[in-house]
Structure 1
Amino acid sequence: MPSETETMLAAAAADLLDGAGGVARARAWRDGGGALDRDVWGRMAEMGWFSLLLPEAHGGLGLPAGEALAFLEEIGARIAPEPVVAGIAALPLLAACGTGAAGALLERAAGGAAIICADSAEEAEGGPGSQSQVLALAPADVDVAIAFDVRGRRLLALDPAEARAVATVDGGALAFLADGPGAVVIAEGATAATAFSQASDTLRLGHAAELCGLMSRALDMTLDYMRLRRQFGQPIGAFQALQHRAATHFVDVTATRALVREAGRAFGTPKQAGAAAAAKAAAGTAALRVLKDCIQLHGAIGFADEHDIGLYLRRAMVLAASAGTPGACRALFGTARAAELSAPTLRQAG
């Protein structure tokens, strides 16, 4: 059962997002070109959303990652377009850097004055503007994106303003960011690597929680439709074949949520990286399976743009690919598990 803190956070998220427009805001955001609402972002910052995992020594709440999961499920359930998870991951990363440049960014981000996100990065073979072979993706209209240059072992603060942007299926846009003259180094060496690894685990766990919220709400919508839609003189939910499909998806949601919660409890232990990757892989796979069938169970109206169920599928597609596709996360889990099994036990070490 969620703790009192988890319940309060989830209720606060629901109140703010419902008051801002709820799911209808996701449609307006898409139709309006995907520009982030900085007023809503500022209110999120005022409520301390981005400081949830920030250590108390830096002015944050210092919560364990597992206590933010119910909160993040509510954000997923309402298809909030803001990159909340990436914003939450950024602040502890900046605090861990211990440099003046990172401290200045931390101050701006904590108060909502700037939208600063930590997001995934990968090695590139080169290209226009790329000097150190680092390539990162970030929402196109954030102020600063934090990326890790694996080859140079540096954390970089990059400006998406002049980056090439591409549209995403949910109506947003991603900027392709490469190292260049405007990049600011905020940490190097082991400090940079450790901080970004922690942020990456937070991203995967957070997106997994969002996906749980998405598919849970979409399944609830589908069950409501199956109770109302009548065919051959009875609700379609009375047909056993459709009941079996709905029951299978209920198991999908419940099992995935349990795995994500277990991954949250693994944070701060040697199992953290593997658990976060496993949770993200499972949530991405399950969400796409559930959402696709929810569309089918709605019949023809499910394929119409006017119905909100399509918004859930499109958002799930984006989140499933963020911070590692299910396949990439399964590979990460395999690597983490192999390292765990090869590590010396306490008895061997003694």
Structure 2
Amino acid sequence: MKFLLSSEQQDFATSLDRLLSGLDLRGAIQSWAAGEHGPGLKVWRSLSELGVTALSVPEEYGGLGASAVDLVVAFERLGYHAVPGPWVDTVAVLPALLDDEVLEGIATGETLASIAAPPEVPYALDADIADLRVFVAPNALHVFTPGTQLRSVDAARRLFRTQPGDQIGTARDFDRAFDFGALTTAAQLLGAAQWLLDTSVAYATQRRQYGREIGRYQAIKHLLADVATKLELARPLVHGAAVAEHSPTRARDVSAAKAAATDAAYLAARIGLQVHGAIGYTAEHPLGLRLTKVRALVGAWGTSHFHRTRLLKELA
């Protein structure tokens, strides 16, 4: 089977790239990490105007009722540009958890959500800015109060302990919601890995050493080719898992996608740092934003161990 994005999906990705390339995302990321959400919320509103927040919301609540493939297209671009905020919780997970009028606020971009679902999602992302905080317990959904803020390797991922409160209902389909969280996280990892590869290739064609560009040395070419190969192997798994959103093999496919995207992004981060050398360690260089983002997303919505174990069980 040959899978290709539709022309509408390609145009959507191009529109997202064009919008995000014109915004001061680095400033928004730094402000978000410092607890100043104004610039990041401006980015949120801009993306909501393009329909990103409405993707998974049913049409009856003002959403687009889009497919998982559309979600993956959007989240690859969010990962490529390292957009801060609880995008997975709000756009991908919550619409699968709830069937409620609160989704109208999600669709318009007015409501931000933060979700904790132990043991795989033990801490709540951006709970201090969230309008809706949901704690997923066995067979029940509760509101929660943010507790102690924790330190993340990615400063823009503000994690909080949770104090569950009143029950607000039952989860509509938690397994599906969890898989959407893992799938969109995998898409973010793909986007981040692609940015790391693109940036490393560009740097290798400019940086000169011993009288020639370092990208002309065979050792550098092989390193970058390894990253490109990993990406090309991971992307079909992520897109394939999105296509199989209603398939009985969804859990297996999502875990395979998350594990492959994790491997590709981790390799892209490691090779990107090798290619850039010492400058990649500096806080001033944008490479650092992707390195820490990748390291944080590797464990988000299921660690590699969790997904490889689940994949093995599904195959067995």
Taking structure 2 as the reference length, what is the TM-score of the superposition? 0.90
1:282 CA displacement = 1.6
2:25 is aligned with 1:22: yes
Question: How many Å apart are 1:184 and its aligned residue?
Answer: 3.5
Give identity over the alignment, percent.
Answer: 31
Q: Which residue of 2 aligns with 1:295?
A: 273
Aligned partner of residue 279 in structure 2, secondary structure:
helix
Please, which of 47, 53, 58 is the counterpart of residue 55 of structure 1? 58
- The letter of the residue matching 2:167 is V
The reply to whether residue 40 of structure 1 matches residue 43 of structure 2 is: yes
Q: Does 2:153 align with 1:144?
A: no
CA contact (8 A) 1:263 1:279 kept: yes
AA of the residue aligned to 1:260: V
Task: State the partner residue of 1:93.
Answer: 96
Summarize the Cα distance change of 1:280–1:58 in structure 2 as closer, same or farther, 3 Å threshold. Answer: same
**How far apart are the structure 1 equivalents of 2:21 and 2:166?**
37
In structure 2, the residue matched to 1:187 is: 169
2:298 counterpart SS class? helix
User: Which one-letter code corresponds to 2:301 in the other structure?
Assistant: A
> Quick check: 1:139–1:174 contact (8 Å CA) kept in 2?
yes
User: 1:95 deviation in Å?
Assistant: 4.1
- Bigger drift between 135-144 and 270-279 goes to 135-144
The superposition leaves residues 168-198 of structure 1 with CA deviations (integer Å, 9 ceiling, x where unpaired) of 122132011132xxx242323xxx2x52211
105, 109, 122: which one aligns with 1:112: 109
**Paired residues of 1:211 and 1:287 also in contact (CA < 8 A):** yes
Which segment drifts farther, 44-53 or 312-321? 44-53
User: Could you tell me how far 1:259 is from its partner in structure 2?
Assistant: 1.3
**1:113 Cα shift?**
2.7
Q: Work out whether residues 91 and 106 of structure 2, in 8 Å CA contact, stay in contact via their aligned partners in 1.
A: no
Number of residue pairs the alignment of both structures matches? 310
Deviations 1:27-84 (A, max 9, x none): 4433x34646333323333433122122223332112101222221111111101221
Q: Which residue of 2 aligns with 1:219?
A: 197
1:67 and 1:135, CA in 2 relative to 1: closer, same or farther beyond 3 A? closer
Structure 1 unaligned segments of length 5 or more: list them: 97-102, 124-133, 339-350
Higher Cα Rg, which structure: 1
After superposition, the Cα gap between the structure-2 partners of 1:135 and 1:171, relative to the gap in structure 1 and judged at 3 Å, is closer
Matched, 1:256 2:206: no
Per the alignment, residue 176 of structure 1 pairs with 161
For 1:315, the equivalent position in structure 2 comes to 293
Q: CA deviation at 1:286?
A: 2.1
Q: Which amino acid aligns with 1:170?
A: D
Rate the CA distance shift 1:28–1:292 in 2: closer, same or farther, 3 A. farther
| 1:166 is aligned to 2:166 | no
What SS does structure 2 have at the residue aligned with 1:228? coil
CA contact (8 A) 1:136 1:176 kept: yes
Within a 5 Å distance, the mapping from 1:67-82 to structure 2 comes to 67-82=70-85
Normalised by the length of structure 1, the TM-score is 0.81
8 Å contact kept, 1:138–1:177:
no
* Alignment partners' CA distance in 2, 1:50 and 1:73: 15
Structure 2: runs of 5 or more not aligned = none
Query: Please, what is the CA RMSD of the aligned residues?
Result: 2.2
| Contact 1:93/1:195 (8 A) holds in 2 | yes
